[in-house]
Structure 1
Amino acid sequence: MNSDDANRLGTVIRSIGSQQLCPAIDAALKAVVDFDMSCAYLFRFNQPALLVHDGYNARVTERTLKAYLRGGYLLDPFYVACTNNHPSGLWRMSELAPDSFFASGFSISRDIHPCVSSHHGSLIEEIGFIVPVQARTALVYSLMRGLDKGAFEPAEMQRLAALTPVIDAVLGQHLQLAHADDLADPEESDSQLEDAFVEILQGQLTETQRYVAKLILQGHSSQSIASTLGISEGTVKVHRHNIWQRLGIAGNAELFRLFINYLVKQ
């Protein structure tokens, strides 16, 4: 570690518990890899996502960010990973995403996906440090770079991954100091369906159909849904057919539009 690295680390440590922490982390990580945007969210199962750090640099519209925080995050692979107790470390979104995610409405929607609403459009890669805090609760510190500069290279990922113990320690301590109220008394739940999904589809679908609809929205194919639920693809197709009939829609795109309309009306 040279003197510049030591100074940056010292700034990070001194900033724990303050609003200056995440900008200090950004500055330290910029010395390791180049990136265009950053953000940090606290994800808690069946509780609103909390934006801990806005490093979008005014490249994401307020409307998109609000829609994401109202419920768009429910479709984010990082949220799903965190609320399923994914291990800590540095992950590419592509490693966490379901098999059909990048063809899903969320992945290409400027309405609720902050990365897509940026000046880079959808040609952007997101990687994130997952920092588990407690059961079904974790903070994700994400870095994003336009693919016009090239995806994050394996050597860059290795350099960042080596910092995982420091990131875990710093952000874990920061959450205890600055966000203790947000971590207090988490509700234990074995539910697989968040309230927002229930509200959107309440009274129209059975519990199983609502869960299948959730997986569709999150970017799972019929094969992936069948594997997740331990049922046949044929049964999944029956569920899809019944969902479309009950909701009076024709397919995935219209299901996603129902979801978007719900968020916009909140």
Structure 2
Amino acid sequence: MNQPIKHYRSTLGLTFDAQMSTAFCQLWRQLGAVEFPVSVMDVLEAVCPTDSCGILVYYRQRKPMSLLHRFNPVERKVPADIYSTGPYALDPQYLLFLSGCPTGAYWLRDVAPDDFYSSEYYQTFYSQTGVADSIDVLWRIDDDSALVFFMQRNVHSPEFCQADLTALTMVLPMLSEALTRHYQLHQPLPQQSSEDKTHQQVECTLNHFASSLLTKRERDVLLYMLRGYSSALTAEKLNTSDGTVKIHRKNIYRKLDIGSQAELFSLFISCIPYARPDEATDPLLQYQSSKATTA
């Protein structure tokens, strides 16, 4: 009697060395305990080594909240908490969360705009953190929140590769099931205060920055500039021509009396503290008024 033919296939494997084995054992040991998310981070670091990493909670209506941050302070030129003061609003991975992306591992190079690495957001803020490359492992809690394990390599280390992303994707289903069970056993995620003035000011600045000087179309172009989109990709997004976008960019510089994207980024960030969420007013006016008063 003929035996049924078995179909064999090779599989991509992970090395269960001492670090990996210890990390997974600790993960199950901490299930339902307060330190469980840290154990998830330890597993991810065993799968894919990093120079710095941490855990954030992303909210749709509030600023991100930091639960853990491991970094090398020698590499950083900006404070660790500066991200939550406003720059997060221009972060490609935060914007991906806002778009409703599902649970998954997201490599910066796959989600960033085409001009991100030459954008002023990158030059003025992102590169000052010492980070050259990152992967976010995002676990979706619900439509309005997500747990984010960010993994980073610094400017002196090799960038991530496709094998790193594949390995993280392999372990994610296990971690996702463990996270689901953990939050069934444990208390809900910590919540930011409902009175989150910073996020309200950031949202107000995004909605009204330079509205007193620019047309709606110019403001559309301005937001794409801040996020690191080239003229060509901005034109594609706005269904117009590259030449038209370049004209809008020149008009933006002229009307705001600036000469570079660096000045534009700095001006945007400077206006955030002057935004008035309860008023549909341009925070740039309040910022300029404050400068005039102190001059």
For 1:178 and 1:60, locate their aligned partners in 2 and report how far apart those are by CA, in whole Å.
34
Q: TM-score, normalised by structure 1?
A: 0.78
Please state how far the C-alpha of 1:252 moved relative to its aligned partner.
1.8
Q: 2:166 maps to which residue?
A: 158
Amino acid of the residue matched to residue 60 of structure 2? Answer: F
Asked whether the equivalents of residues 78 and 128 of structure 2 are also in contact (C-alpha less than 8 Å), the reply is no
**1:90-117 superposed Cα distances (whole Å, 9 cap, x missing partner):** 12101110000000112122xx43xx33
- Equivalent position to 1:232, from 241, 261, 269: 241
Asked whether the equivalents of residues 37 and 55 of structure 1 are also in contact (C-alpha less than 8 Å), the reply is yes
1:192-203 equivalence runs, <5 A: 194-203=203-212
For 1:210 and 1:13, locate their aligned partners in 2 and report how far apart those are by CA, in whole Å.
50
State the identity %: 25
Amino acid of the residue matched to residue 117 of structure 1? Answer: Q
Q: 2:142 maps to which residue?
A: 134
- Structure 2: 5+ residue stretches without partners: 1-14, 195-201, 276-295
Decide which moves more: 23-32 or 159-168: 23-32
Give SS of 1:78's match.
Answer: helix
Decide which moves more: 141-150 or 88-97: 141-150
Q: 1:34 maps to which residue?
A: 49
Please state how far the C-alpha of 1:161 moved relative to its aligned partner.
1.3
Q: 2:227 maps to which residue?
A: 218
Q: 2:90 maps to which residue?
A: 75
Q: Rg larger in 1 or in 2?
A: 2
Asked whether the equivalents of residues 86 and 269 of structure 2 are also in contact (C-alpha less than 8 Å), the reply is no
1:71-220 equivalence runs, <5 A: 71-109=86-124, 112-113=125-126, 116-118=127-129, 121=130, 124-135=132-143, 137-146=145-154, 148-171=156-179, 177-179=187-189, 181=191, 194-220=203-229
Q: 1:54 maps to which residue?
A: 69
Please state how far the C-alpha of 1:244 moved relative to its aligned partner.
1.9
Q: 2:292 maps to which residue?
A: none
Please state how far the C-alpha of 1:63 moved relative to its aligned partner.
5.0
For 1:39 and 1:207, locate their aligned partners in 2 and report how far apart those are by CA, in whole Å.
38
Number of equivalent positions: 251
Asked whether the equivalents of residues 104 and 218 of structure 1 are also in contact (C-alpha less than 8 Å), the reply is yes
Q: TM-score, normalised by structure 2?
A: 0.71
- Structure 1: 5+ residue stretches without partners: 185-192
